[in-house]
Structure 1
Amino acid sequence: MRKSAAVLGMLLLPCLAGAEEIGAVSTVFKWLGPNDKVVVEAFDDPKVEGVTCYLSRAKTGGVKGGLGLAEDRSEAAIACRQVGPITIREELKDGEEVFKERTSLVFKTMQVVRFFDRKRNTLVYLVYSDRVIEGSPQNSVTAIPILPWPVK
């Protein structure tokens, strides 16, 4: 009994994905619970020092959204930028997941994967949403050419 309660508790907690909320704007007023909104979050690539990615995505409000039971929309946008000298800490694998966040109680996630375009010496990041049964083709992509960082 305790084990199933612990599992249920884990499902009800918000996903701790390591993103920092930069800001949010309300898009739909809700009488009960938080408003629907667009959230802007930032996270650093765990294997590439000097790269920060910014995500904007919809967050469903209302009573279900406030309790973490609502399913967020699949639309998201991404912009990654070089914020310092780029250092690749370990070998990169194409399509490697660098960020993941739950966008429904159980079945839906939003994730960011990274590719390395060796020919152009560029890091490419793709954000998309998937579900256990059927994902969404909606996606967004950004690219960062690896350039020398100016030294002061």
Structure 2
Amino acid sequence: MTMRLACSFAAFLLVLPLSSMAREVGEVDTAFKWVGPNHKIMIEAFDDPVVEGVTCYLSRAKTGGVKGGLGLAEDRAEASIACRQVGPIRFKEEFKNGEVVFKERTSLVFKSMQVVRFHDKDRNSLIYLVYSDKVIDGSPQNGVTAVPIMPWPGQ
């Protein structure tokens, strides 16, 4: 039991640096709660840390109520993603396909939502996949977006 708790805490600490990169753009309430915050859909933006010139917009459910307000609720696995070229694309360093670009916990310990990146060299595109995972069983719910690598005006 102690080893499991230590591993969970270590995994939680690894998530912190990646989740701090997102900036909240906006939110809408989806269900009123008498006690605690309402259920909502959040829209967040983050820049790819390795590929300059790409910004991703992520919408995801955020559970409200008492548990949600205390950070104890498990958020739903559904998420949507749209990534766009916002400037000249430049690779800051080499990366592997499937590398995690963004990760945020969606429950107290065992569940997270993450975005991974792939480079489709044949089609000169970047593909971003968002999905939810659990320590025991992941979710097939996912979203995908592609960014064609295009010349930027003036470059």
Give the counterpart of 1:56 among 47, 56, 59. Answer: 59
Q: Which residue of 2 aligns with 1:144?
A: 147
The one-letter code matched in structure 2 to 1:48 is V
Give the counterpart of 2:137 among 134, 137, 141. Answer: 134
Q: Which residue of 2 aligns with 1:110?
A: 113
Percent of pairs with identical residues? 71
Q: TM-score normalized by structure 1?
A: 0.90
Distance 1:146 1:92 in 2: 16
Give the counterpart of 1:47 among 50, 53, 58. Answer: 50
Distance 1:15 1:116 in 2: 25
Higher helix share: 2
Please give the residue correspondences for 1:1-152 in structure 2 after superposition, counting only pairs within 5 Å: 17=19, 18-151=21-154
Q: TM-score normalized by structure 2?
A: 0.88
Aligned-pair RMSD on alpha carbons?
Answer: 1.9
Q: What's the CA shift for 1:72?
A: 0.1
Deviations 1:95-152 (A, max 9, x none): 0000000000000000000000000110000000000111100000000010000018
Q: What's the CA shift for 1:92?
A: 1.9
User: Structure 2 stretches of 5 or more lacking a match?
Assistant: none
Distance 2:112 2:95 in 1: 22
Deviations 1:3-52 (A, max 9, x none): x9xx98xx7xx956110000000000000000000000000000000000
Distance 1:107 1:15 in 2: 14
- Runs (4+) of structure 1 moved beyond 4 Å? none
SS in 2 for 1:119: helix
> How many pairs are equivalent?
143
Distance 2:129 2:65 in 1: 29
The one-letter code matched in structure 1 to 2:43 is V
Deviations 1:48-92 (A, max 9, x none): 000000000000000100010000000000000000000011112
